[in-house]
């Protein structure tokens, strides 16, 4: 294992994830934009887009950085209290968020064909939908029994919110990355 590569990738992942997470919190607060934009911000979860993008670029090397970034991100949410449920909620939300994308990739590799190019539409769509489902469903099933007092309406609302927000975040981040990459490649070709 190359320690320098691991630290470099972890630093990049932590840095950009925490910036996106903090920006998402500012937008959610309603203080950054109008309340109208705050409402739409709930439908776009940019950090999940970064999880997918980091995994597509770095593969499993991004996992230590994602784990640390999720830990710091959740600590910045002021989610910690002295109750066992809150601490358990913190632990499982970090673990589910960190490992939903690699778990989805393993499922795709096991039951699908091996994709050499991870940026194909079929692979990206399958990875996005599966990881969004794993993230939203697993988190909300645990919250349904431990936090929400078995409130089915809240469970369905939260599940749909996770699913829509995660998918739209991936669309924005990955499309933005591909557009910027294309622009950079075109501009380098013109200068050559």
Read off the pLDDT of residues 33-79 as tens digits, 9 standing for 90 and up. 555 444 455 578 888 999 999 999 999 999 999 999 988 887 766 54
When pLDDT is averaged across residues 137-145 and rounded to a whole number, the result is 82
Q: What is the pLDDT of residue 191?
A: 67
Q: Which percentage of the chain shows pLDDT scores above 90?
A: 32
Q: Is the dihedral of CA 39, 44, 48, 49 positive or negative?
A: negative
Which pLDDT band holds residue 19 (cuts at 50, 70, 90)? Answer: very high
pLDDT at 117: 74
How far is 175 from 192, CA to CA, in rounded Å?
Answer: 26
Task: State mean pLDDT over 176-188.
Answer: 81
- pLDDT at residue number 89: 67
What percent of the chain is modeled with pLDDT above 70?
A: 78
Distance CA 37, CA 39 (A): 5
Using alpha carbons, list the distances in angstroms from residue 118 to 55, 94, 155: 9, 25, 32
- For the chain, helix (H) and strand (E) counts, in that order, are 7, 0
**SS3 (DSSP) at 117:** coil
Longest Cα–Cα distance in the chain: 63
Helix axes 46-58, 63-76, angle to 10 degrees: 160
User: Beta-strand (E) ranges in the chain?
Assistant: none
Kindly report the backbone phi and psi dihedral angles of residue 96, in degrees, each rounded to the nearest multiple of 5, phi listed first. Answer: -65, -45
CA atoms of 38 and 36, how far apart (whole Å): 5
Contact 68, 14 (CB under 8 A): yes
pLDDT tens-digit series, residues 81-94: 444 445 666 777 88
| Residue 7 in this model has a pLDDT that exceeds 80 | yes
Nearest of 43, 28, 37, 23 to residue 171 by alpha carbon: 43
């Amino acid at each position: 294992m190359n320690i320098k590569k691991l630290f470099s990738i972890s630093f990049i992942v932590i840095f950009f994830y925490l910036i996106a997470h903090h920006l998402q919190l500012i937008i959610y607060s309603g203080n950054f934009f109008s309340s109208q934009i705050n409402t739409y911000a709930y439908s776009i979860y940019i950090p999940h887009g970064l999880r997918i993008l980091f995994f597509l670029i770095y593969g499993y090397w991004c996992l230590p950085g994602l784990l640390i970034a999720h830990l710091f991100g959740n600590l910045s949410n002021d989610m910690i209290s002295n109750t066992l449920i809150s601490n358990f909620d913190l632990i499982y939300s970090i673990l589910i968020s960190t490992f939903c994308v690699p778990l989805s990739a393993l499922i795709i590799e096991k039951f699908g064909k091996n994709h050499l190019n991870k940026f194909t539409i079929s692979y990206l769509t399958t990875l996005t939908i599966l990881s969004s489902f794993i993230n939203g469903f697993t988190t909300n099933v645990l919250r349904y029994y431990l936090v929400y007092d078995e409130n089915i309406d809240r469970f369905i609302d939260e599940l749909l919110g996770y699913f829509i927000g995660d998918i739209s975040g991936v669309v924005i981040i990955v499309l933005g990355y591909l557009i910027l990459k294309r622009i950079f490649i075109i501009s380098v070709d013109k200068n050559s």
